[in-house]
Amino acid sequence: MLSMGCLPAVVAQESTEVMVLEEVMVTAQRREESLQEVPISISAFTSEDLKRANIGSAAEYLVKSPNVGFSEDGEGGSRSINISIRGVSNITLDGIATANSIGYYIDELSVGAVAQGTINPQLQDMERIEVLRGPQGTYYGRNAVGGAINISTVKPGPEQYFEGTVSVGSFDTYGAEAILNVPFSDTFMARGVFAYEESDTPIENVNPQGNDPFYEYLTGRLSFRVLASDDVTIDLSITRTNEDEGGDIAIPSGVLDLDTQSIFGLGPFDAIDSGQGFYPDNDDRVDRDTSERNDKSFTIINGRVAWDLGGMTFKSITGYLDSSFDRLSDLDGIPFTFGPLPLRRMNDYEGTSWSQEFRLMSAGDSAFDWTIGAIYIDDDLDRINQIQIMPDDAPNGTAVGFINSNDNNFRFKSAALFGEVTWPITGKLDLTAGGRWSRDKVTSTVIDFNKGPNPVSGSETFTDFSPRVVLRHLTDTTTWYGSISKGYKAGGVDIAGTSQLVPLPFESEDLWAYELGFKTQFANGRANLSGALFYNDWTEFQVQTARLADPNDISSAVSVTQNAEEASSKGFEIELMTLLTEDLVWAANLGYIDAKFDEYPDAVLRGKTDGLDNVINVSGEPLPRTPEWTANTWLQYDFMLGNWASYLRGELTYTDTQYSDIEAIGSLVGETVFGSPFNLPDYPYQIDDYTLFNLYAGMETDRFRIRAWAKNLFDEQYYNGTADNFGAAGIRLRPHFRELGISLTIMSR
Radius of gyration of the chain (CA): 26
CA 255 to chain centre: 27
pLDDT at 551 over 60: no
Instruction: Name the band, by pLDDT with cuts 50, 70 and 90, for residue 391.
Output: low
Torsion 21-23-29-30 (CA) sign: negative
Q: Which residues 6+ apart lie within 8 Å of 702 measured at CB? A: 747, 749
Which class for 363: exposed (0-12), middle (13-18), buried (19 or more C-beta within 10 A)?
middle
What is the extent of the structural domain holding 437? 8-748
Q: Write b or e for each residue in 157-188: b if 16 or more Cβ atoms lie within 10 A of its Cβ, otherwise e.
A: eeeebebebebebbeebebebbbbbebeeeee
> Rounded CA gap, 664 and 719, in Å?
14
pLDDT at 481 over 50: yes
**Host H or E run for residue 258:** helix 258-264
Q: What is the pLDDT of residue 6?
A: 39
Query: In whole numbers, what is the pLDDT of the chain averaged over residues?
Result: 88
Q: What is the pLDDT of residue 500?
A: 80
Q: What is the pLDDT of residue 614?
A: 75
Q: Which residues 6+ apart lie within 8 Å of 684 measured at CB? A: 253, 255, 279, 719, 722, 731, 733
DSSP 72: -
pLDDT at 473 over 60: yes
Give the tens place of pLDDT for each residue, 190-225: 999 999 999 999 999 999 888 999 999 999 999 999
Q: Find, among 468, 460, 508, the residue nearest to 485 by Cα.
A: 468
Q: What is the pLDDT of residue 338?
A: 63
Give the tens place of pLDDT for each residue, 409-459: 999 999 999 999 999 999 899 999 999 999 999 999 999 887 888 899 999
712 vs 395, which has greater pLDDT? 712
Report DSSP letters for 325-381, one per residue: EEEEEESS-S-TTTSSS-EEEEEEEEEEEEEEEEEEEE-SS-SSEEEEEEEEEEEEE
Report yes or no on 182 lying in a domain. yes
Percent of the chain clearing pLDDT 90 (strictly above): 63
Report yes or no on 600 lying in a domain. yes
690 vs 668, which has greater pLDDT? 690
Report, as an integer, the average pLDDT of 259-269.
67
Q: Which long-range contacts (CB under 8 A, 24 or more apart) does 674-682 make?
A: 674/612, 674/613, 674/615, 676/613, 678/616, 680/258, 681/255, 681/269
Helix ranges restricted to H, 608-717: 662-666
Q: Whats the size of the chain, residue-wise?
A: 749
> Rounded CA gap, 239 and 298, in Å?
8
Instruction: Name the band, by pLDDT with cuts 50, 70 and 90, for residue 1.
Output: very low
Report yes or no on 743 lying in a domain. yes
* HEC letters along 687-700: ECCEEEEEEEEEEE
Instruction: Name the band, by pLDDT with cuts 50, 70 and 90, for residue 607.
Output: low
Q: What is the pLDDT of residue 12?
A: 29
Q: Find, among 666, 681, 559, the residue nearest to 613 by Cα.
A: 666
Least confident of 120-134, 201-215, 264-278, 708-722: 264-278
> Rounded CA gap, 146 and 485, in Å?
11
> Rounded CA gap, 605 and 138, in Å?
35
> Rounded CA gap, 736 and 283, in Å?
9
Report yes or no on 290 lying in a domain. yes
List the beta strands (DSSP E) in 134-261.
147-153, 161-169, 173-183, 188-199, 204-205, 215-227, 232-245, 251-252
Q: Write b or e for each residue in 684-700: b if 16 or more Cβ atoms lie within 10 A of its Cβ, otherwise e.
A: bbbbeebebebebbbbb
Q: What is the pLDDT of residue 45?
A: 93
pLDDT at 9 over 50: no
Instruction: Name the band, by pLDDT with cuts 50, 70 and 90, for residue 672.
Output: low
> Rounded CA gap, 370 and 424, in Å?
12
Helix, strand, coil abundance in the chain, percent, nearest 5? 5, 55, 40
> Rounded CA gap, 531 and 666, in Å?
34
Report, as an integer, the average pLDDT of 122-148.
89
The answer, yes or no, to whether the previous bond of 684 is cis (omega within 30 of 0) is yes
Report, as an integer, the average pLDDT of 494-521.
90
343 vs 724, which has greater pLDDT? 343
Report, as an integer, the average pLDDT of 136-157.
88
327 vs 263, which has greater pLDDT? 327
Q: Find, among 376, 223, 220, the residue nearest to 298 by Cα.
A: 220
Cβ atoms < 10 Å from Cβ of 643: 8
Amino acid at 201: T
Report yes or no on 670 lying in a domain. yes
Cβ atoms < 10 Å from Cβ of 58: 24
Which class for 301: exposed (0-12), middle (13-18), buried (19 or more C-beta within 10 A)?
middle
Least confident of 227-236, 554-563, 734-743: 554-563
pLDDT at 164 over 90: yes
> Rounded CA gap, 741 and 749, in Å?
27
Q: Are 116 and 76 in contact (CB under 8 A)?
A: yes
Percent of the chain clearing pLDDT 70 (strictly above): 89
Q: Are 573 and 133 in contact (CB under 8 A)?
A: yes
Report yes or no on 569 lying in a domain. yes
> Rounded CA gap, 60 and 604, in Å?
33
Instruction: Name the band, by pLDDT with cuts 50, 70 and 90, for residue 474.
Output: very high
Report, as an integer, the average pLDDT of 675-699.
87
pLDDT at 309 over 90: yes
- Tally of domains in the chain: 1
Looking at the DSSP bridge assignments, the partners of residue 114 are 117
Q: Name the region of 336 (left: φ>0; alpha: ψ -120 to 50; beta: rest).
A: alpha
Q: What is the pLDDT of residue 5?
A: 39
Q: Find, among 405, 275, 264, 390, the residue nearest to 329 by Cα.
A: 390
Cβ atoms < 10 Å from Cβ of 417: 14
Beta strands at 401-424 and 429-448: parallel, antiparallel or unpaired = antiparallel
Q: Are 689 and 294 in contact (CB under 8 A)?
A: no
Q: Write b or e for each residue in 478-496: b if 16 or more Cβ atoms lie within 10 A of its Cβ, otherwise e.
A: ebbbebebbbbbbbbbbbb
Cβ atoms < 10 Å from Cβ of 371: 22
pLDDT at 95 over 50: no
Give the tens place of pLDDT for each residue, 532-544: 999 999 999 998 8
pLDDT at 515 over 60: yes
Report yes or no on 3 lying in a domain. no
pLDDT at 675 over 80: no
CA 431 to chain centre: 32
Amino acid at 710: A
> Rounded CA gap, 451 and 61, in Å?
45
CATH number at residue 155: 2.40.170.20
pLDDT at 554 over 80: no
Report DSSP letters for 97-119, one per residue: -SS-SEEEEETTEE---BTTBS-
Please provide residue 645's backbone torsions phi and psi, each rounded to the nearest 5 degrees: -75, 120
Report yes or no on 2 lying in a domain. no
234 vs 502, which has greater pLDDT? 234
